[in-house]
Amino acid sequence: MLKWTMALLCGIACVVGISVLFIQVNNHQGEIKQAATAPAMPDAPLNVQAAEAIYKQSCIACHGTDLEGKMGPNLQKVGGKLSDQQIYKLIQSGKGGMPSFKGTIKDEEIANLARWLAEKK
């Protein structure tokens, strides 16, 4: 009786494990498709003063006056971790506790801010 119970429990664990694996693969494929269909970053030159103004207007409350992080993460070396494209998509779409700024800030301004932040290494 104990052998059948253990075999049944092992079988259930295998089915659950395989199900979780398929769900994770499906979620990852959805993320890849979403990244591929995300709009490309507009090609605009970096304007440091405009980027700093946008940062002060929209980001300073969570990321601090010197990019040191408050409620949001420290951004002082964000360019060493993320590319300007990745930063652009993050600002545009939001992530976790960070809101999306797609409808709040123009795409060109988001691109400028992303380029400015990408220089922080």
Name the DSSP class of 79: G
Q: Is 98 annotated as a binding residue?
A: yes
Is 63 part of any known ligand binding site?
A: yes
59 in a known ligand binding site: yes
CA–CA separation, 58 and 112 (whole Å) = 14
Which residues does the annotation place in the binding site for heme c? 59, 62-63, 98
Annotated binding site: 59, 62-63, 98
